[in-house]
Amino acid sequence: MRSLNTLVNVDVVNRSDGGVDITVGSGRALVIGDETYRLEAVSQPPTGWAGVEAGGMNITSELRGGRLVGAIEARDVNIPDYLTRLDTIAYELVNQVNTIHSGGFDQLGGTNQNFFTPLASAAGAARLIEVDPAVAADSRLIAAAGVNEAGDNTVAKTLSNLRDALVLEGNSATLIDSWSHLAFRVGRDTRAAIDGSKAQSDIVEQIDALRDAVSGVSLDEEAVQMIKFQRAYEANARFFSTVDQTLSILFSIVGR
């Protein structure tokens, strides 16, 4: 039960015959009498990520506590949040660069050319970001000029200044700011998880110590008890020995 509780919180009901029934989530049976019920990890649509099923029913949302729920929460809440933030940064970078770049002129006099392949939405932007294939194949299509003159660098400078532009988080943060905020968030959450885990471990240790204080064996205490009983035994033995000896003497006197 201790190992099971490490994985996920379970509820234990004492039975009249001294055994226990174990349930998980909203009363989903794990052990009832001498019957056991399996939990299974089953791929769930549309993401394909595993969910916990009991008897064919997805009970992932019912689970509480434990390493399993921690892992699921990290997968379903924390990491998607980080990915969304990263995607937002990537999406904004693509849009900002494309907006500036498409207004410029390349070495061949062309204009309205995106630098990055445009993205339909922020979803998956960090994974999908790529230099436009035409630009990647021919660097002369990079539009550095604001007018159709080969030596102009207006667009290149505007792109460079994008570094200081407040384009994220409600126009209050630069791309770098947002990236550092994301790194801070990941570090803070990880630190909080480590500290929380440590605190929980300390609590568990304390509870274990309290339980052991009641039900555990103290070797010193047992040794003291053993000495006490040994001494009692020796005292009794001596008593009986003395009585026996006394009777022997008495019998020998009477027998004369």
Partner 1 sequence: MRLTFAASMRDTYDGIATAAERMIKFQRQVSTGIRVAQPSDDPSATATTISEKAAHASYEQYVQAGDSAESRLSVADTLLSDIIDKLSAARTSILSAQGSETTDAQRENAAQELASLRDAVLEDLTTSFRGTYVFGGSAGTVRPYSKDVNGVVQPYAGSTREVSVDIDRNRPVTVVFNGEAIVTGNDVTDLFTAFDNAIVAARAGDADALHTASGALQRAFDRASQVQSTVGTSLNAIADHTTRLEDAGRASTARVASLEEANMAEAISGLQQAETAYNAALGAASHTTRRSLFDHLLG
Contact pick of 171, 220, 253, 256 for partner 1 (by CB under 8 A): 220
Cis, bond preceding 46 (omega within 30 deg of 0): yes
Site string (106-145) toward partner 1, x via CB under 8 A: ---------------------------------------x
Report residue 237 as tokens. 């033995």
Smallest gap, in angstroms, from Cβ of residue 23 to partner 1? 29
Considering only residues 226 through 245, tell me which ones interact with partner 1, judged by CB under 8 A: 227
SS3 of 46-86: CCCCEEEEECCEECHHHCCCHHHHHHHHHHHHHHHHHHHHH
Stretch that binds partner 1, among 14-22, 89-97, 210-218, 237-245 (CB under 8 A): 210-218
- Does 164 engage in binding with partner 1 (CB under 8 A)? yes
- Does 205 engage in binding with partner 1 (CB under 8 A)? yes
Given the complex with partner 1, which of 234 and 244 has the nearer CB atom?
234
Chain-centre distance of CA 128, in angstroms? 27
- Does 37 engage in binding with partner 1 (CB under 8 A)? no
Report residue 235 as tokens. 């005292």
Smallest gap, in angstroms, from Cβ of residue 224 to partner 1? 7
Q: Closest by alpha carbon to 63, among 39, 36, 32, 31? A: 39
Q: Closest by alpha carbon to 136, among 108, 117, 162? A: 117
Q: How many CB atoms lie within 10 A of CB 203?
A: 10
Stretch that binds partner 1, among 24-32, 69-77, 94-102, 148-156 (CB under 8 A): 148-156
Q: Which amino acid is at 100?
A: I
Q: Closest by alpha carbon to 52, among 35, 32, 36, 37? A: 37
Measured distance CA(245)–CA(227) in Å, rounded = 26
Number of residues binding to partner 1, judged by CB under 8 A: 42
Contacts with partner 1 by CB under 8 A lie at 145, 147, 149-153, 157, 160-161, 163-164, 176-177, 179-181, 183-188, 190-191, 194, 205, 208-210, 212-214, 216-221, 223-224, 227
